Amino acid sequence: MDKYGIIGFPLSHSISPQIHNLAFKTLKIDAQYEKFKIDPSDFENAISYIKTRGWKGFNVTIPFKERIIALLDEIDPISAEIGAINTVKVSGNRWIGFNTDYLGFMRPLENDLNNINSALVLGAGGAARAVVYGLLEKSNIKNLIIANRTKSRAEKLLQSLKNTIKVNIDIIDLNDVYKPDIPINLIVNTTSVGMGALKEETPVKILKKFNNSIIYDLIYNPKKSKLLQLAQAQGCKIINGLPMLIYQADESFKIWTDKHFPEMVINNFLS
Ligand code: NDP
């Protein structure tokens, strides 16, 4: 039996094992996907242990998407530019890193791309890197604003994506989100504000002028974050992080097995 897994901390809420194991079962692939929680202070030791598990591939989630890079033997060029890895393929004893988050993020937007000229991305962490790369490479946006609590982190993000940037990009403080005077078609929350202990919070308040925007929150637990609740009440189209989660998993699965998820697997989680 082939083995696959996910590393991260915490991992208790991860549904990746359910998603991948259903796909293996449906496609009659003799494989199992397991969780492996790693305490960040024990990362290097835990990685040595993982090398003995015989995994053919694994996912990497918070907080190791950047830290894993130093341990890879090879990295896909796009993923190197994004600077965050969520998928590792084990080939012999070589670890090859990929980012499938940017593809997963873009899939739910495919039908709206013609209407998106300007976007506001809240946050500048690992997920924001994939979001910004996806928007720059796979949409026709002309303007992009990145708003982050820590401005220097947003500047670092732009620095590493400099070869991909062909549009006007502004960096602002999260508190200045009310100031942009261009119409925004898409607002993406990539901050963790809205989940866990911050479940009752929103990263920004929505103004009237955001009425026609699509509001996309990467959070999927809760299914409808406070931000999405407010946006829906104002008539905005809303998208949560569940489709992104399923589609990034689908792209990882393709890297490992050369097969996409059967439709039934996607429907099982998205309908
Ligand atoms: P990171 O830790 O790399 O980044 C967190 C971001 O949130 C930073 O921009 C940080 O700002 C900001 N932030 C955290 N707390 C606050 C706060 N109290 N006020 C304002 N800003 C805050 O995490 P990731 O980028 O990896 O993940 C971010 C979110 O995206 C998580 O909710 C995660 O679950 C979700 N996600 C969803 C995926 C999906 O498939 N749906 C895939 C990947 C992530 P600062 O730089 O100032 O610290």
**Mean pLDDT for all residues in the chain:** 93
Between 127-131, 141-145, 233-237, the lowest mean confidence (pLDDT) is in 233-237
Tell me, what's the pLDDT at 208? 56
Q: Does pLDDT of 106 surpass 60?
A: yes
**Which pLDDT band holds residue 223 (cuts at 50, 70, 90)?**
very high
Query: Which residue has its alpha carbon closest to ligand 1 atom 37?
Result: 218
pLDDT tens readout for residues 34-50: 999 999 999 999 999 88
- CB of 174 within 8 A of CB of 148? yes
**Which pLDDT band holds residue 177 (cuts at 50, 70, 90)?**
confident
Query: Which of the listed residues 192, 227, 251, 266 should we mutate to test ligand 1's pocket, taking the one with most ligand atoms within 8 A of CB?
Result: 192
Helices (H), the chain: 16-26, 43-51, 77-82, 101-106, 126-138, 151-160, 226-233, 242-257, 263-270
Average pLDDT of the residues in 117-127: 94
